[in-house]
């Protein structure tokens, strides 16, 4: 599938004029992570999705030091600009998922780094802004001819359901990722359930809710890694008998966040999956939503074999394998260990931002 996506003007070539490194690896790196405090989040469930990010960030340091790279992990708090000016890193690994508990504010981090003229990994401000609005992402994918479920954005819990949508539908917070509130209660089969769930979500999180038709069938995760070219690493999530006996099979919040890692893999098995059509669709989506370096798309396949994009994540969870990282574990299934993945990302970023 040949892409016809028009790329917007890019600032990296301009900043590259200030970043004459002329070497493969950076000498000094900052691993930037979210500042996580319970008071920033409306619910304990949302806090749970970010708790421990400081440990994830610190776990990069031994790998970087073995490459001869000096590294420090810092929170993206109000003092971060002064700290970056003092440390003067050659590159920042951007792991920030929220600022003061707000995911949409994570787009301010790449904007700040561009203002400071510091190269960084991952999506730009534009890419982050687009993907932090699920409705906008769905619209962009749809306008470029990529398959998405029928969907509707609700700004009020009393809003009428579009008659073209059919139950069952699934409800998703429009500006939050991490499978937050993707539970068994998210699958709605009638109007009474819809109104109750909409009212609770909007009251609790004070944001719009995306309603989309639930695609019954198989589930996939596709990771894109960009170096000299883009490559897709896809897995199929195969649910165990206990999960398949449930009315609807999908990866929910409790499976990801509330249990132990071994419990998760007892319920869900990941197996490598390759389809040229899937690869082409995912590569095009990567360009449309302006991701950079790496990203993740979740898809489902209906009973007729049609793919549907159900979610997208720029700068998806990235950490060493012992931190229960889907991308890292998937890459290792394809023969790319974490140390190689990290080194390739650093080299690619230095090449992209340098003359």
The 10s digit of each residue's pLDDT in 54-102 is 999 999 999 999 999 999 999 999 999 999 999 999 999 999 999 999 9
If asked whether residues 265 and 197 sit together in one domain, one would say no
Q: Distance (Å, rounded) from C-alpha 313 to C-alpha 240?
A: 26
Give per-residue pLDDT as tens, 206-243: 999 999 999 999 999 999 998 878 999 999 999 886 55
Q: Distance (Å, rounded) from C-alpha 148 to C-alpha 171?
A: 15
Q: How far is Cα of residue 55 from the mean position of the Cα atoms in its chain?
A: 19
The CA angle 195-201-207, to the nearest 5 degrees, is 115
Q: Which residue range is the domain that position 177 belongs to?
A: 150-213
If asked whether residues 224 and 206 sit together in one domain, one would say no
3-state secondary structure of 223: strand
18, 262, 313 from 137: Cα distances, Å: 33, 33, 10
Q: Could you tell me the CATH number of the domain that includes residue 193? A: 3.30.1490
Look up the pTM and report it.
0.90
pLDDT of residue 99: 93
Q: Is residue 72 part of a domain?
A: yes
If asked whether residues 114 and 31 sit together in one domain, one would say yes
If asked whether residues 249 and 308 sit together in one domain, one would say yes
pLDDT of residue 22: 47
The token pair at 316 is 């998806």
C-alpha closest to that of 11 among 96, 137, 125: 125
The token pair at 164 is 């073209």
**Residue that is last in its domain, among 169, 194, 213:** 213
């Amino acid at each position: 599938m040949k892409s016809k996506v028009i790329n917007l003007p890019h600032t990296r070539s301009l900043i590259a004029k200030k970043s004459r490194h002329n070497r493969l690896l950076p000498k000094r790196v900052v691993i930037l992570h979210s500042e996580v405090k319970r008071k920033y989040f409306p619910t304990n469930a949302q806090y749970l999705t970010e708790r421990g990010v400081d440990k994830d960030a610190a776990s990069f340091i031994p790998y970087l030091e073995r490459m001869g790279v000096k590294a420090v992990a810092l929170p993206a708090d109000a003092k971060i600009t002064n700290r970056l000016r003092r440390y003067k890193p050659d590159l920042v690994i951007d792991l920030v998922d929220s600022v003061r508990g707000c995911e949409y504010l994570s787009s301010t981090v790449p904007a700040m780094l561009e203002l400071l003229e510091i190269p960084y990994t991952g999506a730009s401000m534009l890419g982050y802004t687009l993907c932090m609005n699920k409705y906008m992402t769905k619209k962009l994918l749809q306008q470029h001819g990529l398959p998405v479920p029928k969907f509707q954005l609700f700004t009020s819990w009393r809003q009428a359901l579009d008659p073209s949508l059919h139950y069952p539908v699934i409800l998703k917070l429009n500006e939050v990722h991490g499978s937050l509130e993707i539970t068994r209660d998210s699958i709605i089969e009638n109007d009474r359930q819809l109104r109750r769930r909409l009212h609770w979500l909007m009251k609790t999180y004070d944001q719009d809710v995306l309603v989309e038709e639930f695609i019954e069938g198989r589930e996939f995760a596709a990771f894109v890694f960009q170096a000299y070219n883009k490559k897709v690493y896809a897995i199929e999530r195969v649910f165990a008998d206990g999960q398949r006996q449930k009315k609807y099979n999908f990866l929910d919040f409790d499976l990801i966040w509330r249990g132990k890692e071994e419990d998760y893999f007892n319920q869900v098995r990941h197996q490598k999956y390759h389809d040229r059509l899937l690869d082409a669709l995912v590569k095009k989506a990567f360009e449309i939503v302006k991701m950079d370096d790496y990203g993740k798309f979740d898809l489902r396949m209906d009973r007729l074999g049609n793919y549907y994009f159900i979610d997208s994540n720029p700068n998806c969870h990235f950490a060493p394998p012992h931190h229960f990282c889907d991308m890292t574990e998937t890459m290792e299934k394809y023969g790319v260990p974490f140390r190689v993945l990290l080194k390739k990302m650093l080299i690619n970023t230095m090449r992209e931002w340098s003359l």
